[in-house]
Amino acid sequence: MPFEIIRNDITTMSVDAIVNAANSALQMGGGVCGAIFSAAGIQNMQAACGKIGECGVGKAVLTDGFNLPAKFVIHTVGPIWQGGNHYEAQQLNDCYSNSLELARQNKCTSLAFPLISSGIYGYPRDQALQIAISAIGKFLLQYEMLVYLVVYDTKSFALSEKLFSAIERYIEDNYIEEHKSRHLRNIDPYEYRQSNECCSMMMPQEICAEAPSPVSKTVRSLDDVVAQLDESFPQMLLRLIDEKDTTDVETYKKANIDRKLFSKIRSGRGYTPSKVTAVAFAIALELNLDETKDLLGKAGFSLSRSSKFDLIISYFIAESNYDIFESNQALFAYQQALLGA
């Protein structure tokens, strides 16, 4: 099942378990911890935590959810940021992996995390986010579970400065280029040629080209047209999976796609995916830009340089960055639709 980043209040999530960013004494704290204790019922939650006693940094323990929509609460203790040289990254990674494993052991099929240690514990949000995405993504390549990373708003969600700057530059360069191309396409090529400026280096080659000779049209019947149906999206997808020497399971997991949805795709020649699903498969199969456009075309979509979503996707593919969770991190920060189911 897929991984989603959403804006929400974690105490209202209807999932099997939610994760509490706890303190080692398992006492009611502030922030997310305080909100979870209050929503669950302070007396019941504190009594359950008291029976456990304490929890070490990076470890995870489980209690009932009591008054929460969630059946369970998994309490994990994140590291306090001390500059990054005191094993904080490993401890934070352990918070996610141990919580996920505990959820799996208790037969949870859905789980919601906050961004652990990014509040009063001072962990830099961009680094905390990268660790969360990496740990959750690694788990989901092996196991089936619907996992949410819950944030209140985009202010609590940070891209690394390097990634943000690179995406901004790519969007700016290509957005400007797209609008320049649109302006040129609106010029009548024959009228422009008569202006004696046809050989200007500013003009694209196709505008300078001679007009094509008229081509006679061959009349075809509707039956002829229908008989020439091209390869469908499911057919092309399955062919690419074979050509890339991968498996169905590896593909839909890397695409952040639910197994049931993939089964639907495999079973139907006429299935048409959403654009985010089609792009997700392109990322999972590590297609280049031309291959991606071909696959999208089978579903009736294209990549446009006037769409921020399309530019972000194009940036990651051009950079040969096929980590779908990192792509979703950027898409979320720019308030775009996320890839996958």
Domain identity same for 186 and 259: yes
Domain span including residue 50: 3-156
Residues 22/32, Cβ–Cβ less than 8 Å: no
Please write the tens of the pLDDT for every residue from 233-284. Answer: 999 999 999 999 999 999 999 999 988 889 888 887 667 889 999 999 999 9
Domain identity same for 93 and 201: no
Domain identity same for 199 and 242: yes
The torsion defined by the Cα of 118, 120, 122 and 128, in degrees rounded to 10, comes to: -10
**319 in any annotated domain:** yes
Domain identity same for 99 and 135: yes
**224 in any annotated domain:** no
Domain identity same for 114 and 11: yes
Last residue of a domain, one of 125, 156, 187: 156
Q: What is the pTM of this model?
A: 0.73
What is d(CA 77, CA 59) in angstroms, rounded to the nearest whole number? 6
Domain identity same for 183 and 143: no
Residues 79/88, Cβ–Cβ less than 8 Å: yes
Rg from Cα positions in the chain: 25
Work out how many domains the chain is built from and give that number.
2
Domain identity same for 143 and 168: no
Q: 72 Cβ partners below 8 Å, 6+ apart?
A: 16, 17, 18, 62, 63, 64, 65, 103, 106, 108
Please write the tens of the pLDDT for every residue from 196-221. Answer: 443 333 334 443 344 444 444 455 56
* Domain at 87, CATH number: 3.40.220.10
**303 in any annotated domain:** yes
**299 in any annotated domain:** yes
Domain identity same for 123 and 183: no
Residue labelled with tokens 């019922």: 41
For the chain, 341 residues long, give each residue's pLDDT as a single digit of tens. Answer: 589 888 899 999 999 999 999 999 999 998 899 999 999 999 999 999 999 999 999 999 999 999 999 999 999 999 999 999 999 999 999 999 999 999 999 999 999 999 999 989 999 988 998 899 899 989 998 999 999 999 865 555 556 566 767 777 877 777 655 544 544 444 444 443 444 443 333 334 443 344 444 444 455 566 654 555 578 899 999 999 999 999 999 999 999 998 888 988 888 766 788 999 999 999 999 999 999 999 999 999 999 988 999 999 999 999 999 999 889 988 988 889 999 86
Kindly provide the residue ranges of all beta strands, DSSP E only, lying in the chain, ordered along the sequence.
Answer: 3-7, 17-22, 60-64, 72-77, 110-113, 146-151
Nearest to 16 by CA among 68, 92, 77: 68
